[in-house]
Structures are given as C-alpha cells and as structure tokens.
Amino acid sequence: MKKLTSLIALVALITLTSFISLSSAEGKPNETKSIESTSVACTHGQCTAIAASTGKTCKHCVSNEGDLYCWQHK
C-alpha cells in the first residue's frame, strides 16, 4: 500500500511538473520573427528606379499595388 501511495505521488509530481513547464512556456511572449528586414519593407513593393543622387535602387515604396516606381520617379 505504501508503494502505491508513493507511485501516485510520483505520478502527481510528474503531472504537476509538466503542467507548470507547459504553462510557463505558454506564458512566454511569442518570439515571432519580424518580416521587416533591415532594408525596405513595403506594402506594395519597392521603387525599381535608380536614384539619380546615389546611383542605387530607390528606397521609396510604391503607393499602389502593381506600380514599379514611387511618386518621385513616375
């Protein structure tokens, strides 16, 4: 009988431990990786024009979906 009691206690302990670890894991804020990169994160895409000042691709975002150029390069 003593063996059974200790067995129940052991099972209860394991269940409790796993429950605590589970709930603490759920409590953590989700580390969702941001889609935003260090470069440009545009809703409709980035301007494909070459900026005259820098000679590199324009960093502006296009204002409408399907547009290739920003308002400056239209």
* Among positions 40, 42, 45, 49, the unique one binding Zn ion when judged by CB under 5 A: 49
Asked if 48 and 60 count as a contact pair (C-beta separation under 8 A), the reply is: no
Q: Which residues pair with 28 in a beta bridge?
A: none
Beta-carbon-side half-sphere exposure of residue 69 (alpha carbons within 13 Å) = 7
Answer yes or no whether residue 58 interacts with Zn ion by CB under 5 A.
yes
Over the window 24 to 43, marking each residue x when it contacts Zn ion by CB under 5 A and - when it does not, the resulting string is --------------------
Between 63 and 73, CB nearer to Zn ion: 73
Q: Please give the radius of gyration of the chain, using alpha carbons only, rounded to the nearest integer.
A: 28
Instruction: Give the residues lining the site for Zn ion (CB under 5 A).
Output: 47, 49, 58, 60, 70, 72-73
